[in-house]
Amino acid sequence: MSQSRHRLADVLALGPVIPVITINRLQDAVPLARALVAGGVRLLEITLRTPDGMAGAEAIIREVPDAVVGIGTVLTPADLHRSIEIGARFALSPGATPKLLDAAAAADIPFMPGVATASELMEAMIRGFDAVKFFPATAAGGLPYLKALAGPFPQARFCPTGGLTEENAADWLAQPNVVAVGGSWLTPATEIAAGQWDAITARAVRSRERLKGGAGG
């Protein structure tokens, strides 16, 4: 677990913004990844929300070597093991069952379990996960809640996702217990469907400039 934790820290150091990507058409996966990498965004969370999610991630890993691909919406140990098989560099979940946490603790892949409550955070930390995905960030209490967690859990680090925007992401990154932020604003579905890759590259550049300085210490 300690090795995986160090590798997760190395991955997150490439942030601080992680686009949360939904692949509706397999043919969009590679050009979308290339557009983001061209804009300086290398960390990509490919969600398993659609049938083409895993295949899209596999194509990106194969064809876009500068992309650092993570698998999101990991719900079961089987999802986790498949992520490892295709060569994903990290994995994330929107929540975490004891079975998934145990599987992730035993697996050789950096993993960020999803938490929305103090009790869920405790379950994750018991198993050695001190960097977690805070989801759904705004609906689960927003910045006030995240600040409140810093008191009893000073060692915990968060990647808030859910409701973040280009306009408010910097507020989250300014928090000392935030290591990265995730959001879908970088990859609007309408632009993906229209193949507007230049627009996505421009937004990636703009977001990175806006969030320069990274996460809290």
Long-range contacts of 80-87 (CB under 8 A, 24+ apart): 80/104, 80/107, 80/109, 80/111, 81/107, 82/54, 83/54, 83/57, 83/109, 84/108, 84/109, 86/54, 86/57, 86/58, 86/61, 87/58, 87/61
Among residues 123, 133, 166, 212, which one is catalytic? 133
Among residues 45, 63, 99, 209, which one is catalytic? 45
The yes-or-no answer on residue 58 being catalytic is no
Q: Is the peptide bond preceding residue 16 cis, with omega within 30 degrees of 0?
A: yes
Cα 128 from chain centroid (whole Å)? 18
Paired strand residues for 197: none
The yes-or-no answer on residue 63 being catalytic is no
**Where do we find the tokens 């006030």?**
144
**Residues annotated catalytic, as ranges:** 45, 133
